[in-house]
Structure 1
Amino acid sequence: MFDPKKLEQIAKQIQDSMPQPVKDLGTDVEQKVRQVIQGQLNKLDVVSREEFDVQTQVLMRTRQKLTEMEQKLSELEAKLDKGEE
């Protein structure tokens, strides 16, 4: 769901800002930082950019079809009104 490169970059920034004694603990801290970040990101109610783009396209097609149907309905109503006269 989340870009692993961005997650890696955030984890590195956090690790770089830690005091040296904490950094000396090694990869265990780095791994824990990644786990915490991933856990918090997973709690957020977000979608990937790809999924967002797909849903945007679906919405655009739906709007287009709705506009076409509204136009057809208007045409049918106009025909019915003429037929009643």
Structure 2
Amino acid sequence: MLDPKTLEEFGAKMSALLANSPARDIEKNAKAMLGGLLGKLDLVTREEFDIQAQLLARTRERLQALEARVEALEKTRSGQ
């Protein structure tokens, strides 16, 4: 079985080798291009999405309560 220290050394050497290779430049360019494309899209963060989902749930609850009140008022009014 391989020694964890040997694996760490190998990983460090590979990282150093890749940092100085054209692959690193390609990765940087790809990340920049992807970041630019995603920046143009109308996206929200997960936190913003969750906040809006909570707001929508509260709004639905209030709407249902208001609908029930209107229905009760209509029943009492039609009964008069």
TM range (shorter): 0.5 to 0.7
Count of aligned pairs between the two proteins: 61
Which residue of 30, 44, 48 corresponds with 1:47? Answer: 44
1:60 is matched with which residue? 57
Which residue of 67, 71, 74 corresponds with 2:68? Answer: 71
Q: Under a length normalisation based on structure 1, what TM-score does the superposition of the two structures give?
A: 0.60
Kindly state the Cα deviation for residue 82 of structure 1 after the two structures are TM-superposed.
1.4
Kindly state the Cα deviation for residue 28 of structure 1 after the two structures are TM-superposed.
4.2
Task: Identify unmatched segments of 5+ residues in structure 1.
Answer: 1-22
Higher relative contact order at CA 8 Å, sep ≥6: structure 1 or structure 2? Answer: 1
Deviations 1:11-31 (A, max 9, x none): xxxxxxxxxxxx723754443
Farther off after superposition, 24-33 or 36-45: 24-33
Q: SS at the partner of 1:46? A: coil
Correspondence 1:1-85 to 2 at 5 A: 24-25=21-22, 27-83=24-80
RMSD (Å), alpha carbons: 1.9
Deviations 1:16-68 (A, max 9, x none): xxxxxxx7237544432221111111122321111111110011000000000
Q: Which amino acid is the alignment partner of residue 65 of structure 2?
A: E
